[in-house]
Chain A
Amino acid sequence: MTADDDNFSRKLTGYLDQGTADLKAGTVYRLQNARAAAVARLADPVGVHASESRLAHAFAGTGAQGPSGGRNLLTSARLWLGIGIIVAAAFGYQQWQAYQQVNEIVELDAQILSSDLPIDAYLDQGFRNWLTRDEN
């Protein structure tokens, strides 16, 4: 970085400072409000905000961060709720399928034991082979 570059940069930042002096009144007002909110958070570290912040920390990295800890917490809670519902649904479906399979086997066994074979059993080539082999 030469002295000329340095000088050029200083002149540029001088103009940039002028740009900050000409901000719109509404923008300046909102910046002041934002600062006041941040300083208020500083003055009340053990209040509601602090507990919000701690909970938000617990969920850190799981959701989008909004302008307040409350919003962050809400987003995280929704995310976890969604994940919980998906996991519960997948587990329920798997359990239901296993139950159905067991039910089918039980029904088939009961019919065989009561010599009340379903027509499907006679149509099954494998079953017929098994019967003929048994007779021989």
Chain B
Amino acid sequence: MILKGMLSFDSIICDFCPSDRPKLASPQEISGFLAQVERRAFKQAMFAVRDEDAALDIVQDAMLKLTEKYAAKPAGELPMLFQRILQNTIHDHFRRQKVRNTWTTLLSAFGKGDEKDDDYDVLETLSAKSDSNATVDPAQQFEQGQIVGMIEQALMRLPPRQREAFLLRYWEELDVAEAAAAMGCSEGSVKTHCSRAVHALALMLNAKGLTL
């Protein structure tokens, strides 16, 4: 309680010294930031929920929450805030899914059809054009695709907290303190999860004959 009081007092003092306050993110900066992280955020959600539609919904929710509630934050805080929102949204998804499953278990037998096939669109299966692949020969591209697939599968098999820590620290390049804030745990836990994740990934990939 005392700490909270001190923090709010500090924030009041800072209102009188605007030069010390970090610059707030402009709409262009926020838009640019979202464009930068959207694909990685989608992949992160995919690794966790393993369902494309759910992953897209999660990313959309996270983006909306960021712009609605945290637009008035400094640009430097956006990566950590967005990651925290994203992780919370993923956890919310699992909570909702658990509640939904308890109600639909009895009715699930009636719903087993080829519903996904109705939404199938061949155009959606084509990869987006990427300039980085323009000069790569097909054999190399195929091999890289296989390696990426193996790495992604190994990531999906990791325990959720280890995967979160690994992705936040190395893919999102957050420092230990930021990753701890985004995960809602201590810095020591982040280090432990990261270390275990790296060793588990190395073991899984070695078992498949892949050495990096």
Pick from B121, B130, B151: contact of A21, CB below 8 A: B130
How many chain B residues touch the partner (CB < 8 A)? 55
Chain B contacts of A49 at CB under 8 A? 68
CB neighbours (8 Å) of A43 from chain B are: 27
The CB with the most chain B CB atoms within 10 A, among A13, A22, A38, is that of A38
Q: Which residues of B contact A30 (CB under 8 A)?
A: 56
B156 CB-CB contact with A under 8 Å: no
A78 on interface, CB distance cutoff 8 Å: no
Would A25 and B127 be within 8 Å (CB), given that A12-B212, A31-B59, A38-B66 are in contact?
yes
Chain B, 172-206, contact with A by CB distance < 8 Å: what is the 0/1 string? 00000000000000000001001100110110000
Q: Of A1, A8, A25, A37, which is within 8 A of B64 by CB?
A: A37
Residues A27 and B34 in contact in the complex (CB < 8 Å), given A1-B195, A8-B198: no
B85 CB to closest chain A CB, in angstroms?
A: 11
Question: Which residue of chain B has the shortest Cβ distance to A19 in the bound complex?
Answer: B148
Contact call A41/B64, Cβ cutoff below 8 A: yes
Choose one: A25, A31, A65; the contact of B39 (CB below 8 Å). A31
Chain B minimum-CB-distance residue to A20: B39
Q: Give the complex CA separation of A68 and B61 in angstroms.
A: 7
What DSSP secondary structure best describes chain B's contact surface?
Answer: helix
Bound CA span A1–B145, Å: 28
Contacts of B127 in A (CB 8 A): 22-25
On whether the beta carbons of A26 and B123 are closer than 8 Å, the reply is yes
CB distance from A13 to the nearest CB of B (A): 5
A46-75 contacts to B, CB under 8 A, are: 49, 53, 64-69
Q: Within the assembled complex, what's the spacing in Å between the Cα atoms of A22 and B132?
A: 10
The complex places the Cα of A46 from the Cα of B38 at a distance, in Å, of: 26
A21-B133 in contact given A9-B170, A39-B27, A42-B71 (Cβ < 8 Å): yes
- State the CA gap A67–B92 with chains docked (Å): 12
| B124 surroundings in chain A (CB, below 8 A) | 24-27
CB of A18 within 8 Å of the partner chain: yes
A21 to B136, CA, bound (A): 13
A15 interface residue (CB < 8 Å to B): yes
Q: A13-B171, A38-B63, A41-B64 are in contact. Are A22 and B35 (CB under 8 A)?
A: no
Which residues of B lie under 8 Å from residue A42 when comparing CB positions?
27, 30-31, 67, 71
Do residues B64 and A68 form an inter-chain contact, with CB atoms below 8 A?
A: yes
**A38 contacts B195, CB within 8 Å?**
no
